[in-house]
Amino acid sequence: MSTPQPPTPPTSSAGPDPMLCPRCEIALEYVGTRDFHEGTRWGALGDLGELFVHKEHFDVYVCPRCGRVTLFVDGIGEEFRPH
């Protein structure tokens, strides 16, 4: 009698491919990294005031057919996204 083998774990995560537009099911195109900030614009302090603002960087992808925009946190999972 042969011993049953344990199931092999999946090589990719379950769910739809995040690099395809969920509406059109075509590949998203990379359009660059954008900075977004939280908090108040400091106005008179200019760039000095920006030192006190929390900034987040996002990789931006767009569907060339419908224009849907998808944001990914910069620095996480980049090996899975084409640039």
Would you say residue 21 lies in a domain? no
What is the C-alpha separation between 25 and 28, in angstroms, rounded? Answer: 9
pLDDT at 9: 47
Would you say residue 59 lies in a domain? yes
Tokens representing residue 37 in the block = 């900030």
pLDDT in tens, 36-81: 877 665 555 555 555 556 778 899 999 999 999 999 988 888 887 8
Would you say residue 24 lies in a domain? no
pTM of the predicted model as reported, rounded to 2 decimal places:
0.63
Domain that holds residue 69: 29-80
Residue with tokens 């946190």: 73
Would you say residue 7 lies in a domain? no
Burial 38-75 (b: 16+ CB within 10 A, else e): eeeeeeeeeeeeeeeeeeeebbbbbbeeeeeebebeee
Number of compact structural domains in the chain = 1
List the Cα angle 64/30/77 in 5-degree steps.
Answer: 130
Would you say residue 4 lies in a domain? no
Would you say residue 13 lies in a domain? no
